[in-house]
Structure 1
Amino acid sequence: MNSIQHTDVLIIGAGPSGSSAAALLRKKGYAVTIIEKQYFPRFSIGESLLPQSMVFLEEAGLLDTIKNHVEERAFQFKNGAAFLKGQQRSFYDFTEKFSEGPGTTWQVRRADFDHLLAQQAEQFGTEIRFGHEVVAVDVASKHPILTVKNEQAETYQIQAQFLLDASGFGRILPKFLDLESPSDFPVRRAIFTHIEDGILDDPDFDREKILITVHEKDPRAWYWLIPFADGRASFGIVGEQDFFDAYQFNDTSPETLQATFARILADDPALSHVLRNKKFDTPVRTLVGYSADVKHLAAQNYALLGNAGEFLDPVFSSGVTIALKSSSLAVPLVERTLQGGQVDWMQEYEKPLRKGIQVFRAYVEAWYDGEFQDVVFSKNQNDKIRRMIASLLAGYAWDDKNPIHKNAKQRLITLAEYCREGQSPVAMVGME
């Protein structure tokens, strides 16, 4: 092993949180090295961005590179979310929201999107070491040290003044430092792929919105359909294991996964009609038990970004937004640390970040419990309520000016009750 290498900030992972953190740090003049196990472009899900993400991409100087590749990469303009359950349909237009900020974004192939962000971070001066794997972590000293294995299976050590874990589902620091804490969400499985969707002139389908469909036989299960601009789409189904067991799901080979997916879809006439001309032409994949949490998100010489810290659920596409928000919050604190200042990571990073995550959590829980589904498909929402909900679905979970941001879980339960009863909910839940 050679002598220890040095850099100002080490980042594990070149996904959106890693690349955006690197871009922000390079704008401030710091030397940044990213250790990335995979080679880009690489497949990833989480293709439906939220408008709040545009704020963080612009802050990091990454928005223009996405705008410049929209047509080339078939990124689909997105302005909202649509919902389907049997014969019930609903939608929210993100341009008609309560919170200030962008109301539109894109639906993207993450392989292309993440690669573009990483390339731009490199152009800003970040060193990204693709194909390098972290094999040991030492944060006992003031300046953390990683032991890394390169493409030739040779190991080396690199030391930084600060360490950021942006490894996503790899969750490097939680594993090496025993930070993992079990999620209190039920264990769910996702089966997903990319398809040729075959949707042409369907008046009931809007390519500018993600389509979330509730399974007609089990409202705990739902599908995502995220269209791209070239006639293709990301398509997935999420449910608890007993839901999949009912379809004789018994192994995870691509052939079995596709057959299971097809049987599940056939049980949903409304969505089957939307996708009547679809073609499965890409291997089907699966993830199980993806929800995760940690004991803490930061210490004096490291911090966890995005999914490396906590992942909730894919239902409202919050992953990339949380990832970018975490980088935006963390980088000024990293800079203060590098300059010798004191940082209270719990008060200045973990609590503010988790405040928005808890709002997303309330909506995820209410979705699976049924309350939020009742709200979404209710005909009794007025314009004020729709705008408040549209803001949260657009990713503005940190906007505490939004009346349903405070005590979000209880207000959703109350709102659902009044929507079921056909009453005007605004005054009833104290949101006037």
Structure 2
Amino acid sequence: MSVDQSPHVIVIGGGPAGATVSTLLAQQGYQVELFERERFPRYHIGESLIPETYWVLERLGMLDKMKSSPFIQKHSVQFVSPSGKHSAPFYFHDNKPHECSQTWQIRRSEFDVMMLKNAEEQGVVVHEGVRVLDVLFEGDQAVGVQIKDETGSVKEVRASVVVDASGQSSMLINKFKLRVPDADLNKGALWTYFKGAYRDQGKDEGATIVLSLRDKQGWFWYIPMQDDIVSVGVVAEFDYLFKGRANHKTTFAEEMENCLTVKERVSNAEQVAPVKATKDYTYRASQAAGDGWVLVGDAFGFLDPLYSSGVMLALKSGELAADAIGEGLQKGDFSRAQIGKWEDGFVEGMNRMRRLVCEYYDGFNFGEFIRRFPHHRGSVTDLLIGDLFNKELDQVFEDIDSMRVTKAPSE
């Protein structure tokens, strides 16, 4: 279970963020050990990619694997209003005519295995079925981890940097009480899977569809996947979805009555999984790093999934952290200032996506906005595809503010 010498970096968690940061550091020649408590494949929600994942996947050497995978190609996103009116699809390629504008609807159990195997192929020492019991500190400096394998054997592994990519159950976010919930996005979700549900044809087969509830209390996602499976989920305020309701199955059925377009699409389909629930939605850590430690992916924060930004943000945080850690390893500097230097820019991008999410929940009419400011259609599409790290796009939000002042929001 051990290698001949202590690694430069330890990564806790083998999901997309952990696989990304470990792969990019291994590519730089650093010794990385990754500890994943489960054995892959394992189920995980978060199935829709957005185009800006392309650039990180390219750096990881994953593009050819994605192209030869069975994953459904995704070319667009479409919105359905409370009255059932369909928007024109936002075709990514129309805005950015590049290979990156075609992405995928993934099955996370398969995608995560592909990512972890890719990490291993590029030199990461991967341990599955190994639980990290604690992060070790000397003073304020993280210096390694204590682990327990499937035989019950406990040992310590030392490293210059510890990356926590362990998801929402992050050890360090809890240890230092860093979790900051987002009071404006106190949402939850219920979801399940259908086989044989309606899907559009041709270029539109893999489109993500976002459908507002008739009473505007929330929205459904509709994500076509491989093997004739569609992922269908409803997102709404926590209290609305979970308080005073009979059970998850009944609530899901009631909300389909509140979104007849979804009900019609699955009317001839077979439900092939129980209704699942999550109640711990949007949050962020108050800091992304300390001396010798870094948080990436859901261990740092999670944003409401309205625009399918989860995997992209996980990959991007892993990429940015890897670059800062690699630079720190070159200089022998493992301070928070060095290995967390990416945080401010990442949070700026995350906040741009958060603003788009909040505008949707506030009832802002994006179609009307585009009619009023047609020159922003490309910029809005840029934000929807995940091009979040461009300050020039902030002009969109300035004009949204100006429109709100002059006209009350409509459907």
TM-score, structure 2 normalization? 0.90
Residue 47 (structure 1) aligned with residue 47 (structure 2): yes
The one-letter code matched in structure 2 to 1:8 is H
- 1:13-92 aligned at under 5 Å gives the runs 13-68=13-68, 70-71=69-70, 75-85=71-81, 86-90=83-87, 91-92=89-90
- Contact (CA 8 Å) 1:49, 1:108: kept in 2 or not? yes
Q: Select between 182-191 and 77-86 the one with higher mean Cα deviation.
A: 182-191
What do residues 301-357 of structure 1 show as CA deviations (whole Å, max 9, x unaligned)? 111111111111111111111111112211121112212355634883111111101
1:148 corresponds to: 147
Q: Who is 2:394 aligned against?
A: 406
Q: Any conservation in 2 of the 1:96–1:390 contact (CA below 8 Å)?
A: no
Aligned to 2:278, the other structure's residue is in SS state strand
Superposition map of 1:19-418 within 5 A = 19-68=19-68, 70-71=69-70, 75-85=71-81, 86-90=83-87, 91-97=89-95, 102-140=100-138, 142=141, 144-199=143-198, 206-217=204-215, 219-244=216-241, 248-250=244-246, 256-342=247-333, 344-345=337-338, 348-371=341-364, 374-376=365-367, 380=371, 383-401=374-392, 405-406=393-394, 409-415=397-403
* Structure 2 residues not aligned, in runs of 5+: none
Give the distance between the partners of 2:340 and 2:20, measured in 1 at CA.
Answer: 22
SS of residue in 1 equivalent to 2:221: strand
Local SS of the residue matching 1:339: helix
CA distance in 1, matches of 2:378, 2:403: 14
Counterpart of 1:56, as a letter, is V
TM-fit CA distance, 1:33: 0.7
Query: Could you give the per-residue CA deviations for residues 75-105 of structure 1, whole angstroms, max 9, x where no partner exists?
Result: 1111111111223111211112269882120
**In 2, are the aligned partners of 1:221 and 1:243 still within 8 Å (CA)?**
no
Matched AA of 2:173: P
Counterpart secondary structure, 2:214: coil
In percent, how many aligned pairs have the same letter? 27
Change (3 A) 1:419 1:209: farther
CA offset at residue 421 of structure 1?
9.3
SS of corresponding position for 1:327? helix
For 2:29 and 2:203, how far apart are their aligned partners in 1?
47
* 1:189/1:143 CA distance change after superposition, 3 Å: closer
Cα distance change, pair 346–23 in 1 and its aligned pair in 2 (3 A)? closer
- Rate the CA distance shift 1:182–1:268 in 2: closer, same or farther, 3 A: closer
Q: Distance in 2 between matches of 1:98 and 1:134?
A: 43
* TM superposition shift of 1:210: 0.2
CA distance in structure 2 between the aligned counterparts of 1:262 and 1:26, rounded to whole angstroms: 47
Q: Which amino acid aligns with 2:77?
A: A
Q: How far is the alpha carbon of 1:241 from its aligned partner?
A: 3.0
Gaps of 5+ in 1: 251-255, 423-432
Q: 1:314 to 1:41 in 2, by over 3 A?
A: same
Distance in 2 separating the partners of 1:396 and 1:411: 18
Preserved contact between residue 7 and residue 33 of structure 1 (Cα < 8 Å) = yes
Does the 8 Å contact 2:197/2:230 carry over to 1?
A: no
Spell out, residue by residue over 1:6-38, the C-alpha distance to the aligned partner (whole angstroms, 9 max, x if none): 211100111111111111111111111111112
Mapped contact 2:12–2:34 kept (Cα < 8 A)? yes
SS of aligned partner of 2:306: coil
C-alpha distance in 2 between matches for 1:348 and 1:208: 37
Question: Matched residues in 1 for 2:64 and 2:118: separation?
Answer: 10
| Alpha-carbon distance between aligned partners in 2 of 1:291 and 1:305, rounded to the nearest angstrom | 15
Residue in 2 that maps onto 1:253? none
Change in Cα spacing, 1:277 to 1:174, as seen in structure 2 (3 Å) is same
**1:153, CA displacement in angstroms?**
2.5
TM value normalised by structure 1: 0.86
| C-alpha distance in 2 between matches for 1:40 and 1:30 | 24
The answer to whether the 8 Å contact 2:369/2:400 transfers is no
Number of corresponding residues: 404
Give the Cα separation in 2 of the matches to 1:114 and 1:419.
Answer: 45
Q: Determine helix, strand or coil for the equivalent of 2:391.
A: coil
**Is the 8 Å Cα contact of residues 135 and 142 (structure 2) preserved in structure 1?**
no
2 CA distance for matches of 1:419 and 1:127? Answer: 57
Q: How far apart in 1 are the matches of 2:340 and 2:8? A: 24
AA at the equivalent of 1:159: R
